[in-house]
Amino acid sequence: MNHQSPKTLIVIAGPTASGKTAAAINLAQHYKTAILSADSRQFYREMSIGTAKPSWIELAAAKHYFIDSHSITESFSVGDFEKQALTLLDELFKVHDVVILVGGSGLYIKALTEGFDDIPQADPQIRERLNKELAAKGIEPLQKRLKEVDPDYYDEVDINNPQRIIRALEVHNATGKPFSSYRKASTNKRPFNVLKIALDMPREVLYNRINQRVDSMIEQGLIAEVRSLIFQRDLNALNTVGYSELFDYFDDKISLESAIDKIKQNTRNFAKRQLTWFRKDAAIHWLKPEDIRPEVIDRLLLDQAK
């Protein structure tokens, strides 16, 4: 590696609706480089409006990877993302000194920048038992148990995603250790530098942005998008905010108005959990959206190099 200019991955993180896409494109254009998405829902071609994917104009403004890269019918784990993204970075760093990683999925950012411990495989019988319990009693007893056995993971996981909760509980049942303890304590050394930035704004500003974004998703045709996926609703990828609430509406469980309110509320809760995750990372520089300018980033890069 060339010591005059070590390669750097600039991470733009932060909660949903905080303006990460615009900030990343701005920097990508300045550094004449590419963007990798670390948004665990924007990988999927079939989900566009509800995942707030960059528009075609934004996608044309800078080269993006890991957007529309997979189908909801494919399994694509955080481990798969880590492997594929490292291979891609290897190629990109041959032609760029800086690459941008943008997204709100803390687990995916962690995987790429630090790596993971090998999480043990659990006994399929444990999973079957937990799935039966989910079918019989719903998600709440499982959420409660996760909170007891692994409060750290409970604080950062999407607790409305039964697959994630069951995975954490089965690992705990199989090993007696919390799922969160299998995440890297000692990080894997990467052959590039990492500068982590997260977008900061007052909570009420963020919540207003979220509410407005949900309204604009409805205007853009979110209801039709979700209706078109109704026959695939059992897929894990669709078990997510903006989709599950509308499935409830199609099932006549709730009114449309109530489904839209729920999407807003669940998205605000999701943003809160993202902030909890990112605040735990001491390496993150918190910046206001208007401060994510090339001269500010260059100064941070210089400080980090000292």
CB 33 within 8 A of CB 99: yes
Confidence category of residue 187, pLDDT binned at 50, 70, 90? low
Could you tell me the two tokens for 266?
A: 């669940």
**Pairing assessment for the beta strands 35-37 and 98-102 based on DSSP bridges:** parallel
- pLDDT of 3: 43
Res 10: pLDDT: 98
What does the pLDDT look like over 67-121, one tens digit per residue? 999 999 998 888 889 999 999 999 999 999 999 999 999 989 998 998 866 676 7
Q: What is the pLDDT of residue 213?
A: 97
pLDDT of residue 4: 46
Cα–Cα distances in Å, from 264 out to 125, 136, 170, 241?
A: 37, 28, 31, 9
In the predicted model, what is the mean pLDDT of residues 279-283?
A: 93
Contacts of 92 by beta carbon, 8 Å cutoff, 6+ apart: 33, 34, 99
Question: Which amino acid belongs to residue 291?
Answer: D
Query: Whole-number mean pLDDT of the chain?
Result: 91
CA–CA distance, 102 with 114 (Å, rounded to integer)? 16
For 215-263, write each residue's pLDDT tens digit. 999 999 999 999 999 999 988 889 899 999 999 999 999 999 999 999 9
Residues 6+ apart with CB under 8 A from 50: 41, 217, 222, 225, 226, 240, 241, 242, 243
Domains (range + CATH), the chain: 8-116+184-305 (3.40.50.300), 124-182 (1.10.20.140)
Q: What is the pLDDT of residue 1?
A: 38
State the pLDDT confidence band at 55, using cuts at 50, 70 and 90: very high
pLDDT band at residue 163 under the 50/70/90 scheme: confident
